[in-house]
Amino acid sequence: MQPTSNSNGVALNQPSKSFRNPPWWNRRTRLERGLLVSACVFFVTCAALVVALASTNSALRVGPNSESMPSPEALVDDGAEDTEPGICNTKGCVRTAAAIIQNMDEEVDPCDNFYEFACGGFVKNTIIPDDKTQMTTFGILNDKLDEQVRILVEEPVKPDEPKPFQLVKNLYQSCMNKSLIESLGVKPMNEILKKLGGWPLLEPNWDPTTFTWIESVYRFRKLGYSNDYFIDFSVTTDVKNSTYRIIDIDQPALGLSREYLTKGLNESEVKAYHKYQVELAVLLGADRTTAVKDMRDALEFETQLANFSLPREERRNVTKLYNPMTISELQEKFPSIPWLEYINRLLPEKVQIASDETIIVTVPEYITKFQQLISQTDKRVQANYVMWRAAASSVSYMSESVRKLQLDYTNTLTGKGEREPRWRECTSVATARSKSGRISLANAVGALYVRRYFKDEARASAMEMVTDIRKSFLDILKEIEWMDSLTRGRAIEKANSMETHIGYPKELMEDSKLIELYDGLEMSNNDYLGNVLNLTTFGTDYAYRKLRERVNKTDWISHGRPAVINAFYAPLENSIQFPAGILQGVFFDSERPRYMNYGAIGWIIGHEISHGFDDQGRQFDADGNLYDWWEPTTKNAYLRRTQCIIYQYGNMTAKEVNLKLNGINTQGENIADIGGIKEAYRAYQSWVQRNGQEQKLPGLKYSSNQLFWISAANVWCNKYRPESLKLRILTGVHSPGEFRVRGPFSNMEPFSKDFNCPNTKPMNPKEKCSVW
Ligand SMILES: [Zn+2]
């Protein structure tokens, strides 16, 4: 039979009539529909504005206690004839509806693929700009934040301005001073490489007797370069005694991720990496043949480091990584490195250790293998490797000829074909957070940001939602059948004692605190590389100096970097953090219905709370100490549940790149996503019980509950370049956006109920996984 356009569709399993468009609508072309929707939204906007103006703001004014949403009465729009009761027509609601409509593709059955239903329009209509690797709702908000920061840092330095703000502006100006940077060419790079000991392939008379890898580490530390290229060194919180700090040595982060390097020299990313090494060396003056050979040897050395580094999958068990030993024991076990001297040379002079100091060796096997490898490796290879790393880390601060090589290389890894605008790069340098425990200018930028842009009303609303969502997590804990009462009691205690940081700490309003924090740091407005090296040295000194200081878990400094679109759970503090940057836009808006906020920032809040109980977070107790508080039977039940999630996500395939997700590496995030959405949904249901049903959105037929799910999905609308998607799947801990929607939702009974999804549909599979 000839299928007609109607019988060929998804009509038979269409979940509910409310999703179907009327037939005349189906007959419109895409353009006509788009125009109609735009026209409707425009009309509704105008109507709302007219009413708002005519009624002297009464429709828009919000009472003192209703900062998130006007009360239902105030919203009934008796002046507009085109609306039915129960539709919210405030500006906030119209704006919200327009954004949803733009992102969605209503031709997709929400029970087949909810991500395509909610984000299909976004995917179809979004073009990834040449200077971006991906487009996400996070990224769009980030761009806005960058613009706000740009305005702040481009304002001229005022004579009486506190020094921390001058530092930020100077760093930004030194980065923007392109003509100076261009006029210097590769000179600053050649000079600094000489000071660091010289890159052998650039030095015809390089003398191997002048080089030891250990001396190179000392020199790097002194000049503001990373001292972590051979062995990672840090001063960090002691995970078993989390009010104290301890020294930790670990395998290093490599120049190209382990996941690529271990595939061998024929892998396209590895080839591109080698090409980048050679081209950079040649540009700095090396002979091409020498560069090809030398960097090939260095790459083989780095590949060996990759081969015996512990894979990510095996780094999730924190107990396995906790290997305390004294310096004497370390010396006995790994005799080729003079540990006491090595560590004391990295630490500031005022903070020195003796041989009875206990430190943590995260991966002892790495140190063993490293000792063997380095003793068999030609010094020229060692030096070429580490000088390459130093050169590569300086490329961003050089002239365009050098930066072009970096772009060609990252193009292979991410697909990005152009650099972002200079100002954006320069604001990122100013706002960057550094390696944990180190200080950057993020606190000063954060202070500028919140003083100008943060609306304090967001803080109270977010706090209220945290209370609600924590309560629903506690309710879930009480209902769970697979937990024994002892473990349950400890889990409840942990959830109750979780500290919350919202917006920013009040100290960011005090100039004196910031001045004290940055005491001793200098930034000139015409030495970009010099500034970055200064900042690294300052930040590293700051972190290492803390070795003998007790940990202040509510410290304003580590919680005072609010100019960021992100949220955090800190297992060692047992704390959740929602910086000012994320309390806006698609995540939170006080002028739209609560179901939108619960679906978005509410889900994020639930996600962070659940991190305290994911496969890694659960290894820490209520005080943030690594301690096994699980009764064996409950632990086994927990592990069976995580296994379900590992298997489920591990069998999801990103079609564009034909790669399966890594179920093990993403399990923590997936557990948090699944738990988080459930907590947020339940919290919203109880909000409705207390406050009553909310109005719907104009131009959309969906119920409040349905809009909750649509709002949640909108958080993850995204489009990746294929290279960038591959990079994320191979090296990331988060599942790509599409799976952060499909995974959690398909595990939720209430989702299927709200959209009437039969159990024959992909979004309502029989086998569902969840931990919380
Ligand atoms: Zn997370």
The mean-pLDDT minimum among 60-69, 257-266, 493-502, 558-567 falls in 60-69
- Residue 398 CA, distance from chain mean position: 27
Active-site residue, from 228, 468, 673, 694? 673
Q: In the predicted model, is pLDDT for residue 72 greater than 50?
A: no
Q: Provide the residue type at 523 as one letter.
A: M
The closest of 591, 590, 556 to 450, measured between CA atoms, is 556
The pLDDT of residue 62 is: 31
Quote the CA–CA distance of 200 and 207 in Å, as a whole number: 8
The pLDDT of residue 434 is: 74
Question: What separation in Å is there between the alpha carbon of 523 and the centre of ligand 1?
Answer: 35
Question: What separation in Å is there between the alpha carbon of 684 and the centre of ligand 1?
Answer: 21
Question: What separation in Å is there between the alpha carbon of 66 and the centre of ligand 1?
Answer: 30
Phi-psi category of 499—alpha, beta or left, where left has phi over 0 and alpha has psi -120 to 50? beta
The pLDDT of residue 605 is: 98
Q: Share the mean pLDDT of the chain.
A: 90
Question: What separation in Å is there between the alpha carbon of 607 and the centre of ligand 1?
Answer: 6
* 123's tokens: 């995917």
Question: What separation in Å is there between the alpha carbon of 713 and the centre of ligand 1?
Answer: 16
Q: Provide the residue type at 280 as one letter.
A: L
Rounded alpha-carbon distances, angstroms, from residue 477 to 301, 482, 485, 679, 743: 50, 10, 10, 11, 22
Q: In the predicted model, is pLDDT for residue 300 greater than 50?
A: yes
Q: Where are the domains of the chain?
A: 187-397
The pLDDT of residue 6 is: 32
What mean pLDDT comes out for the span 329-341?
A: 98
pLDDT in tens, 406-432: 999 999 999 999 999 999 999 999 988
Quote the CA–CA distance of 709 and 601 in Å, as a whole number: 12
Question: What separation in Å is there between the alpha carbon of 573 and the centre of ligand 1?
Answer: 16
The pLDDT of residue 3 is: 32
Percent of the chain topping pLDDT 90? 87
Rg (CA), the chain: 28
pLDDT in tens, 509-567: 999 999 999 999 999 999 999 999 999 999 999 999 999 999 999 999 999 999 999 99
Phi-psi category of 285—alpha, beta or left, where left has phi over 0 and alpha has psi -120 to 50? left
What mean pLDDT comes out for the span 358-378?
A: 98
The pLDDT of residue 76 is: 32
Pick the CATH number of 187-397 from 3.30.420.40, 3.40.50.300, 3.40.50.970, 1.10.1380.10: 1.10.1380.10
The pLDDT of residue 364 is: 98
For residue 516, count CB atoms less than 10 angstroms from its CB and return exposed for 0-12, middle for 13-18, buried for 19 or more: exposed
Question: What separation in Å is there between the alpha carbon of 672 and the centre of ligand 1?
Answer: 6
Q: Is 289 helix (H, G, I), strand (E, B) or coil?
A: helix
Q: In the predicted model, is pLDDT for residue 68 greater than 90?
A: no
Asked if 259 is an active-site residue, the reply is no
Question: What separation in Å is there between the alpha carbon of 567 and the centre of ligand 1?
Answer: 8
The pLDDT of residue 268 is: 96
Q: In the predicted model, is pLDDT for residue 340 greater than 70?
A: yes
pLDDT in tens, 6-40: 333 333 333 333 333 334 444 444 545 454 545 55
What mean pLDDT comes out for the span 484-499?
A: 98
Asked if 608 is an active-site residue, the reply is yes
The pLDDT of residue 432 is: 87
The closest of 518, 469, 483 to 166, measured between CA atoms, is 518
Question: What separation in Å is there between the alpha carbon of 569 and the centre of ligand 1?
Answer: 8
Question: What separation in Å is there between the alpha carbon of 666 and the centre of ligand 1?
Answer: 10
Would you say 103 and 115 are in contact if contact means Cβ atoms under 8 Å apart? Answer: no
pLDDT in tens, 571-630: 999 999 999 999 999 999 999 999 999 999 999 999 999 999 999 999 999 999 999 999
Q: What protein residues have CB closer than 5 angstroms to ion ligand 1?
A: 669, 672
Percent of the chain topping pLDDT 70? 89
Question: What separation in Å is there between the alpha carbon of 734 and the centre of ligand 1?
Answer: 7
The closest of 260, 240, 242, 377 to 312, measured between CA atoms, is 260
Question: What separation in Å is there between the alpha carbon of 100 and the centre of ligand 1?
Answer: 24
Buried b (16+ CB within 10 A) or exposed e, 171-187: bbbbbbbeeebeebebe
What mean pLDDT comes out for the span 255-262?
A: 97
What mean pLDDT comes out for the span 318-340?
A: 98
Question: What separation in Å is there between the alpha carbon of 369 and the centre of ligand 1?
Answer: 33
- Residue 476 CA, distance from chain mean position: 27
Quote the CA–CA distance of 742 and 196 in Å, as a whole number: 50
- Residue 444 CA, distance from chain mean position: 21
The pLDDT of residue 84 is: 43
pLDDT in tens, 433-444: 777 778 899 999
Question: What separation in Å is there between the alpha carbon of 106 and the centre of ligand 1?
Answer: 29
Question: What separation in Å is there between the alpha carbon of 200 and the centre of ligand 1?
Answer: 43
pLDDT in tens, 199-237: 999 999 999 999 999 999 999 999 999 999 999 999 999
* 28's tokens: 């419109």
Classify strands 575-579 and 568-570 as parallel, antiparallel or unpaired: antiparallel
pLDDT in tens, 306-324: 999 999 999 999 999 999 9
Q: In the predicted model, is pLDDT for residue 48 greater than 80?
A: no
Q: In the predicted model, is pLDDT for residue 388 greater than 60?
A: yes
Active-site residue, from 250, 357, 608, 621? 608
The closest of 93, 86, 136, 141 to 115, measured between CA atoms, is 136
pLDDT in tens, 658-689: 999 999 999 999 999 999 999 999 999 999 99
Rounded alpha-carbon distances, angstroms, from residue 101 to 30, 306, 437, 741: 13, 47, 43, 18
Question: What separation in Å is there between the alpha carbon of 74 and the centre of ligand 1?
Answer: 38
